[in-house]
Structure 1
Amino acid sequence: MSTIRAVVFDLDGVIIDSEEVWEEVRRGYVAEHGREFRPDSQDRMMGMSTGEWSRHLAEEVGVPRTAEQVAADVLGRMAERYRADLPLIPGAVEAVRRIGERFTLALASSSARILIDQVLATAGLRDAFQVTLSTEEVPRGKPYPDVYLAAAEKLGLRPAACAAVEDSSNGLRSAAAAGLAVVAVPHGVYPPAADAIAKASLVVPDIGALTVEEIDRLR
């Protein structure tokens, strides 16, 4: 029998193809204030909590707004985009349902709570996850392990009894640091760094290809 009892999904880049939307919205917002992304801004912000990326844009990129104002502005724009057209990844909803027939499911996302709730409602997945967590609800965002440790705790399981499904460098590092078995679904436009993908026990080409049998074999 597999020792994996639960699967913890990331949201952005795994269930919704939102990384390009995030980049477009944040770049446009920064440009409106006469600033430009730093060379490493996009990579660094993937996996950051709301408080962390809004501070980065305010304090390091130089947007002349407080971090709280930056967060409210950008999240408002993201919510508008999601209401107009939710960028679901093909096969993601079916994969969640399929894997949920065998394992308890949780969600550990860097998105704000307001966006998580909206995505799950629009996608018809509100009932799929026993636990949902935003990194704004834990002390530190990805690549720190906080959100995955909290998800395992809320599930009542050891991290080693859980698998994580992630796409980004910071997400893969976060899950591995927490002690979960790591499944990588590399994003085609924003592929993870070599050191991050090396932490994965399983790499699949897309979320639709992930099977219950492969998760069973992780431990």
Structure 2
Amino acid sequence: MSILGSTSVIFDLDGTLVDSEPNYYEASRRTLAEHGVTGFSWADHERYVGISTRETVVSWTERYGLDAPVEAVLADKNRHYLELARAGTHVYPEMRKFVELLAAAAVPMAVASGSSREAIEVILKGTGLDARLRTVVSADEVDRGKPAPDVFLEAARRLGAAPADCVVVEDAAPGAVAAHAAGMRCVAIPYVAAQADDPAFATAGLLVRGGQEEFEAGDAYDWIVASR
């Protein structure tokens, strides 16, 4: 039994537990270049932070007028991303510490991400986080991706937790919206610190405005204890 009672914690993956956005950007740049779109910049990439891979590709087909089917472009992007992810993905040190603090308190945890299940499992295994985070939900396993609450609600179901007892840890505005829609508390650590004033983050119970550079595991743990 957890010392935090019925509390469960659900983590987003990309940009929250790990700094995988550089890999996603490079995978996107390579994929679009293969389909005739050049000049894809980091600023272009930032508009897709927090959105599922499939929804990103669907947006590309409309924005860039891609001729290839969505499934083909999606397969290309996943192939490039997995190559990059296997080569190395950086875990935020304070996030690893946070996971260990929660594990020591026997708090049930899950990962709920817009990435494919294969990508999630590759990262968790490669970083060793799979030893602590065994419950995984991909956006491919639910009807709607973030900002819909489906992925978080499914994670809560698999943990056997009531939504009101769950805390979501997120880096992106769509994830914060999804957490609020799911009726869950939220710790928000904006990946793009300049977006901290986005109204979506106003619903977060704890907003770390400076992003990962300011996040401290002990402070987040103490907030969860105090907000029960």
Same fold, TM exceeding 0.5? yes
- Any idea what the Cα deviations from partners look like across 1:136-172, whole Å, max 9, x if unmatched? 1100110111101111111112110000000101111
- Select the residue among 44, 54, 57 that pairs with 2:57: 54
Paired residues, what number? Answer: 219
Which position in structure 2 is the counterpart of 1:10? 12
Using the TM superposition, name which of 151-160 and 48-57 deviates more: 48-57
Kept in 1, the 8 Å contact 2:30–2:80? The answer is no
* CA pair 33-190 structure 1, distance change in 2 beyond 3 A: farther
Identical columns (%) = 35
Tell me the equivalent position of 1:140: 144
Alpha carbons of 1:186 and 1:50: their partners in 2 closer, same or farther (altered >3 Å)? closer
Question: 1:154-201: per-residue Cα shift (whole Å, max 9, x none)?
Answer: 111211000000010111111111111010112246735520110110
1:92-148 deviation per Cα after TM superposition (whole angstroms, max 9, x unaligned): 222211122221111111111111101111111213124210111100110111101
Take 2:205 and 2:193, find their aligned partners in 1: how far apart are those partners? 22
- Helix, strand or coil at the partner of 1:91: helix
Any gaps of 5 or more consecutive residues in structure 1?
none
Amino acid at match of 1:140: R
4+ long deviations beyond 6 Å: none
The one-letter amino acid paired with 1:105 is M
**Counterpart amino acid of 1:159?**
P
Give the corresponding residue for 2:211: none
SS in 2 for 1:82: helix
SS of the aligned residue for 1:25 comes to helix
| CA distance 1:210–1:167, change in 2 (3 Å) | farther
Counterpart CA distance in 2 for 1:57 and 1:90 is 33
Distance of aligned partners of 1:79 and 1:193 in 2 relative to their CA distance in 1, 3 Å threshold: farther
Q: CA, structure 1 residues 211+49, in 2 after alignment: closer, same or farther (shift >3 Å)?
A: closer
Partners of 1:187 and 1:209 in 2: CA distance: 19
Aligned residue type for 2:102? I
Moved more, 50-59 or 134-143: 50-59
Deviation at 1:12, TM superposition (A): 0.5
**CA-atom RMSD in angstroms:** 2.5
Does residue 70 (structure 1) correspond to residue 73 (structure 2)? The answer is yes
| 2:93 aligns with one of 90, 93, 97 | 90
Alpha-carbon contact 2:16-2:170 (below 8 Å) kept: yes
Q: Which stretch shifts more, 45-54 or 198-207?
A: 45-54
